[in-house]
Structure 1
Amino acid sequence: MVWDLIRDSAFGHLVRLTSGGKWFPYAEERDPELWKQFVNEEKSGYLAHHGDTNPPEDSSKDQLDAGSTTSSKSRQSEDGNIDNEVSEPRVDPEKGRDKHVIDWFGPDDPDNPRNWSRGKRFFVTFEICFLTFSVYIGSAIYSAGIPDVMHTFGVSQVAATLGLTLYVAGYGLGPMVWAPMSEIPFIGRNPVYMMTLFIFVMFQIPTALSSNFGMLLAFRFLTGLFGSPALATGGATIGDMYRPRKQAYGLGVWGIAAVCGPVLGPLVGGFAAQAKNWTWTVWELMWLSGFCFVFLFFFLPETSSTNILYRRTRRLRKITGDERLTCEPEIMAEHMTGKDIVLMILVRPITLNFTEPMVFLLNLYIALIYGLLYIWFESFPIVFVEIYGFNLGQEGLAFLGLLVGALIALTCLFSWLYFYQEKQFNSNGNLQPEKRLPPAMVGAFFVPICLFWFGWSARPSIHWIMPIIGSGFFSIAAFLLFNAVLPYLGDAYPDHMASVFAGNDLMRSSFGAGFPLFANAMYRNLGVNWASSTLAFLGIAFIPIPFVLYIYGKRLRHWSRAARKDI
């Protein structure tokens, strides 16, 4: 496993490039005769017969079988028709293509990410979680230094908060480009992760050394922009490795990493800002993300199956010198123009978001939860510093209630998945997407419960533990909603998973960026109790969404052009 991880990492590819493939060779490079087992004869036959790797839709399937040659070695039959050497059917001179389709050599091909060992999949899941945490913590870790930013640059609290909101806006816009780009076969996910993470780390230096407030805001936005791929593409990476029956577990663990970022950010940044100044929150972010980059540089493999097949095909063409070797991702890419690529990268996430009712409603709900989270976080200094007398470091400890709530939700969710949902999968390993939604139907009620509890228990006459306990209900709500909505979207739109997640990230980050700007004024003018209650009433208004989609989702999918319709 370790050898494969290093060989398929950015470091391994760099070593292979400089050594001409002599270091970290693949099996087919050690034994050139292995190339034959990677050729899918059935798909090659279909391609030879009618120019497509899918079975013919009419009775020409019988003609395909009848037209097979008896020798896979011959290149030309007696009647002058060209014969495909591997797949045997004759190449149709009008519609057929004389190509050998490279594929997985069987259902257990170890290079297929879904066939990786459990240990390898768990390790790569940890890497994606570490990457997500290293970026997500960058938003909340800054919030602890806002008072010092106000003092250093002589700006108001709303202006200083822009350093938080622009970062969130950056990692909402970034996935619109990075996530669809990772779906392009000749790029894959790993180059996107490594390139953007390196820039993310480097941009922390000018952020911490900002000589004026405008420079600080500009680099906060840019770091959010380049740190964003893991926040949307991370879910697609999890989907690469886990079959539908197990994907929810991987997404659940990934969700904990996403929760830990905003929760631990104020704790880590609070003590640093209290002991030093706001720049130390940025230096901490650089140290953490820098270590993450080095770690992933040596050990993060590619998970995109289309990219793995594409690179395998290139290696085999080089080994055999046979230009007829191709793969399905290449065949698809042949028909894509530059305009198609631009549309896929820049337009698809937006069009899916606003033309698919299921995507729009769920993204809107998740965006609301995300916005409520960030606006509600702004009340913590008012409650725990001004009401309960916590210092800056102790205020960060108050966020741990959210982490405890998320861990409780994770335990309950995994139990439900194991004892109930896994039994609902059919013999083909598929599940009707709407059956992913019950956790969201439960979690929806915990949003108003949390906000009412927190708002009306935050007073000097009530012990500080009560609002902390109440805060834990929010992470239960958010965790259940995220881990129902994201698997649902992934199941309903499997061919556009990264783009759908990118649109989700854009909408929720837009809410997360805008809401904190009026949070302080809202809590000052309405008071903690009524401000939290206002947010709770908003949460109540959105409760019906998962129920409506649970009932009518299948009908909506059958009306959709992009959603899956076969289950």
Structure 2
Amino acid sequence: MLSITRDTGLGYVLGLISPARDETLYLGPNSLIWPYQRHEAPNGRRALPQDCIVVTDRSTPNRSKHPSGRNSQLSERDGEFVERIEKGITDNVVGWYGLDDPENPLNWSNFKKISVSIQIFLLNSFIYLGSSIYSPGIADVMRDFGVSKTTATLGTSLSLLGYAIGPMFWSPMSEVPRLGRNPIYILTLVCFLLLKLPIVLANNIATILIFRFLTAFIGSPAQATGGATISDMFLPRKRSYGLGLWELSTWIGPTLGPLVGGFAAQARGWRWTIWELIWINSAMFLCIFCFLPETSASNILYRRARRLRRETGNESIRAELELETLNLSKKELAYKTLIRPFVLCFQEPICLLLNTYTALVTGLLFTWLESLPIVFGGVYGFNLGQTGLSFLGLMIGSFVAFLIFVIWFFLFDAKKFDDLGYRKPEKRFVPLMAGCVFIPICLFVFGRTSRPDVPWIVPVIGSGLFSLGGFSLFISILNYLPDAYPDYAASVLAGNNFIRCTFGAGCVLFAAPMYNNLGIQWASTLLGILGFIFVPVPFLFYFYGHKIRRASRHALKDH
């Protein structure tokens, strides 16, 4: 448990406020070990008492001597690194101390990796819950503020727009060595919770719309940075499981929102849906503050170099990624950091094509989702709570899709990676090639069975087919992008999120008018035809994607 909590926000704060802060031993880049507490040394042996700081007098601590003979707080491998510098054997660039370095997230225990993955899954689910939990209360908002349905629906559309824009700024900031991922997660979640209060207390529609956008913008890092956090801990072969879990959260959040919000809006009004969101994410904040460690390799190595500089007085010791930004001004650093996602998104051919394709399919999803309240509320006479239950088809379908993917990957696909856990990125499109046909099939089935003479369970089951196709889409692309851009995972995932959520935000506004004008059957049929047009696209990426990737400046090139 200590290995999980010591490099978290809680561990950092305890280190700052503890009266014994000067008596602690820092083994990791910022890892807090309380006095006399045993730990695993880097070489795997159990640390002996003399390896720790022994405090006999508060003013003159008696530290044990390092194996090199110096009085220091440095770990064994830190000391070996400093000795090599002093002897001129190596330069002043700090990296990992071999392939078995325990501070490297790739070398963490399975328990620690699974713990982090589950926290990212929950964080992304609960944040994304806000995109749809508002929808069941739209009728109440229309009545309370005397606005049209289009105006009230802007609350959903602006929220999606905030989820689109936010990661373009927060995700690249998490790649800055001095910041890392944890401060971004923690600080933005605090602001997310505080900015929800004006919505609950709002007395006009403008306040709701403005703060719906702001809360989504502030709370959006998990939308893209979550995938980068998973990539920090797993090589491509194992990464598929973690990203599959993270991808599952992008389905759980939006589909759980109408279910949770429907009964709340029916019983207590639309404001109660926002209170639910605040309570759930307050619990999530406590969880990640206490148990989510830093995973960014660049940040871990930066803090290792900073500790070595402090302990040795050698100011020339630097982490490798730190050297890239050492001579940049703050303005140049900000420009390079914040512009990078837009450059990757719009100037890299493979990113632009993939993001466009993802956006079109996402547009189908968000347009079709707006029809569920129309069908189950209008055709089958469901109340708000029962209409929320109709989204269970999507949720169950996403769990089924996740299980199918895990079983298929474990039995077949995992064996195709090389000894180092890598392979050609375009192989990631196999699940999409198999699953893309389920999207148009779902739309045709749903459109043709949403009639009073057909039991309601039939369109609910049909809706689950969309999850099979949608999950295969996102799991393929969200695995492909970190494979193709291993150094810029957060930025490329942010660009993908930006394009698809922006497109989805626009589709939400015309979805209801389209279904009302064309009717449920013809509107769904039109979306199904568009879905069939997109079916050949993943096959093109599979066979010709490597050529497009070769023309992309920052993408990984095949050797």
- C-alpha separation between the residues in 2 aligned to 1:180 and 1:344? 9
Instruction: Work out which of the residue numbers 405, 411, 422 in structure 2 matches 1:413.
Output: 405
Other-structure match for 2:77: 37
- C-alpha separation between the residues in 2 aligned to 1:300 and 1:226? 19
- C-alpha separation between the residues in 1 aligned to 2:462 and 2:356? 24
Report the CA distance between 1:86 and its aligned residue. Answer: 4.0
- 8 Å contact kept, 2:350–2:552: no
Q: Which segment is superposed worse, 138-147 or 319-328? A: 319-328
Instruction: Work out which of the residue numbers 165, 176, 191 in structure 2 matches 1:199.
Output: 191
- C-alpha separation between the residues in 2 aligned to 1:40 and 1:479? 48
Report the CA distance between 1:534 and its aligned residue. Answer: 1.1
Amino acid at match of 1:88: I
- 8 Å contact kept, 2:349–2:549: no
- 8 Å contact kept, 1:128–1:254: yes
Deviations 1:471-494 (A, max 9, x none): 001111111110001111110111
Other-structure match for 1:318: 310
* Cα distance change on mapping 1:456 and 1:123 into 2, 3 Å: same
* Cα distance change on mapping 1:39 and 1:513 into 2, 3 Å: farther
Q: Which segment is superposed worse, 429-438 or 13-22? A: 13-22
- C-alpha separation between the residues in 1 aligned to 2:24 and 2:361? 46
Q: Secondary structure of the equivalent of 1:145?
A: helix
How is 1:82-481 mapped onto 2 (pairs within 5 angstroms)?
Answer: 84-88=85-89, 99-481=91-473
- C-alpha separation between the residues in 1 aligned to 2:471 and 2:558? 29
Report the CA distance between 1:39 and its aligned residue. Answer: 7.3
Amino acid at match of 2:7: D
Amino acid at match of 2:135: S
- Structure 2 unpaired stretches of 5+: 29-51, 54-65, 67-71
Q: Secondary structure of the equivalent of 1:437?
A: helix
**What's the TM-score once normalised by structure 2's chain length?**
0.89
- 8 Å contact kept, 1:40–1:103: no
1:512 maps onto 2:504 in alignment: yes
Amino acid at match of 1:105: Y
* Cα distance change on mapping 1:24 and 1:461 into 2, 3 Å: farther
- C-alpha separation between the residues in 2 aligned to 1:306 and 1:300? 17
Q: Which segment is superposed worse, 111-120 or 542-551? A: 542-551
- 8 Å contact kept, 1:8–1:301: yes
Deviations 1:242-281 (A, max 9, x none): 1111111001011112211011110000000000100000
**What's the TM-score once normalised by structure 1's chain length?**
0.88
- C-alpha separation between the residues in 1 aligned to 2:532 and 2:22? 62
Report the CA distance between 1:23 and its aligned residue. Answer: 6.8
- C-alpha separation between the residues in 1 aligned to 2:357 and 2:266? 36
Q: Secondary structure of the equivalent of 2:325?
A: helix
Q: Secondary structure of the equivalent of 1:141?
A: coil
Other-structure match for 2:35: none
- Structure 1 unpaired stretches of 5+: 45-71, 74-83, 90-98
Report the CA distance between 1:552 and its aligned residue. Answer: 1.1
- C-alpha separation between the residues in 2 aligned to 1:417 and 1:150? 47
Deviations 1:526-561 (A, max 9, x none): 001110111111222222221111111112222221
| Paired residue total | 518
- 8 Å contact kept, 2:74–2:311: no
- C-alpha separation between the residues in 1 aligned to 2:240 and 2:175? 21
Other-structure match for 2:31: none
Amino acid at match of 2:280: L
Deviations 1:78-103 (A, max 9, x none): xxxxxx524427xxxxxxxxx42222
Report the CA distance between 1:465 and its aligned residue. Answer: 0.8
- 8 Å contact kept, 1:39–1:103: no
- C-alpha separation between the residues in 1 aligned to 2:354 and 2:551? 17
Report the CA distance between 1:322 and its aligned residue. Answer: 2.5
Q: Identity across aligned pairs (percent)?
A: 49
- C-alpha separation between the residues in 2 aligned to 1:402 and 1:543? 21
Q: Which segment is superposed worse, 373-382 or 200-209? A: 373-382
- C-alpha separation between the residues in 2 aligned to 1:196 and 1:316? 30
- C-alpha separation between the residues in 1 aligned to 2:329 and 2:136? 47
Report the CA distance between 1:22 and its aligned residue. Answer: 3.6
Amino acid at match of 2:77: Q
Q: Secondary structure of the equivalent of 2:133?
A: helix
Other-structure match for 1:529: 521
- 8 Å contact kept, 2:95–2:319: yes
- 8 Å contact kept, 2:235–2:422: no
* Cα distance change on mapping 1:299 and 1:22 into 2, 3 Å: farther
How is 1:538-557 mapped onto 2 (pairs within 5 angstroms)?
Answer: 538-557=530-549
Amino acid at match of 2:86: E
